[in-house]
Amino acid sequence: MPITLLCRLCPVLLFLLALGAPAPSYAGGDPPAASSSVTKTEKTGKAEQPQTAEPTEPPENPQQPEQPIQLERDEEQKPPPISLTPLRATYSAAMDKGVTINGSATRLLEPQPDGTWILRFDVESFLADIDESLRFRWEDNQVIPLSYRYKLSGFMIGSRERTIDYDWENQTVSGNFEGESFSMALVPGALDPMGYQLQLRQDLKAGKTQMEYQVTDDGDFDRDEFAVIGRETLDTELGQVSTVKVEKVRAPRKKRSTVMWFAPELDYLLVRLVQIESNGSRYEINIEDANIQQN
């Protein structure tokens, strides 16, 4: 789903990045104890002979409630697996800022022989080209980024490169952006600028409606929040598509807005994105073609 945070870069780069672009109680009871002798005293004061209850034999197969209860807890804590599906999708894009700029982008998601995955994003336009890639693992419904690469080059635009490498064994992340290096400790669930886009799509598949991600951003982590705000049917190059509408959560006074449409019938593929900047500039991408390997 070709989305990258447009709010962080210049308008032209923003447009290009947009092309790339949520203790059970113990119920078994204690085993019955053997009855003890009881003496009843009547009002007359005469005592009855003690009555001894017959000993209760223990059940042949005493229940062990702790084990099944623990299994139930484990099942509740571990959600069902959500599989990744290889895909290839192409998008058209337009930026309206007094002058209309058009371009196209291709998104690829492919498994690798070593069990990792590669997510690629390639942009071609008369103004610039972008090569962006992520190598990652998919474990327990979570994107585990390993290495992220980004390169921008084009006419009248200075070249830019960015690298991020994740060392999960030592819990550190390091990288380089335009010659400036950084290194810092990882936070739980840390994602890269591409991985969070894929994680958003997978979380929607899992039925989530509120999503929050910690995205690596040149020596710090940005907290990006998203929320499902409704459903809508769109007319696309693929025909009429029912979609889930998602909005990036921003501060109430922020004039910038980002809205995305994902198609459940297309494995929650991103089919449209619209971003409006605080100065009124509008960026929009729309699906043109998609090839998804259904499970």
Measure CA 14 to chain center: 22
Is pLDDT of 249 > 50? yes
List of E strands, the chain: 87-96, 100-111, 117-124, 128-139, 142-154, 157-167, 172-177, 180-185, 210-216, 221-236, 239-248, 257-263, 269-276, 282-292
User: Which of 9-23, 89-103, 117-131, 257-271 has the largest mean confidence?
Assistant: 257-271
Per-residue model confidence (pLDDT) at position 119 = 97
Output 130 or 60, whichever has higher pLDDT.
Answer: 130
The average pLDDT across 31-51 equals 43
Is pLDDT of 244 > 80? yes
Distance CA 3, CA 15 (A): 10
Per-residue model confidence (pLDDT) at position 10 = 37
pLDDT band for position 57 (cuts 50, 70, 90): low
In tens, the pLDDT along 59-83 reads 555 554 444 434 344 444 667 888 8
pLDDT band for position 44 (cuts 50, 70, 90): very low
The predicted model scores a pTM of 0.70
Is pLDDT of 28 > 60? no
Per-residue model confidence (pLDDT) at position 105 = 85
pLDDT band for position 141 (cuts 50, 70, 90): very high
**Residues above pLDDT 90, as percent of the chain:** 51
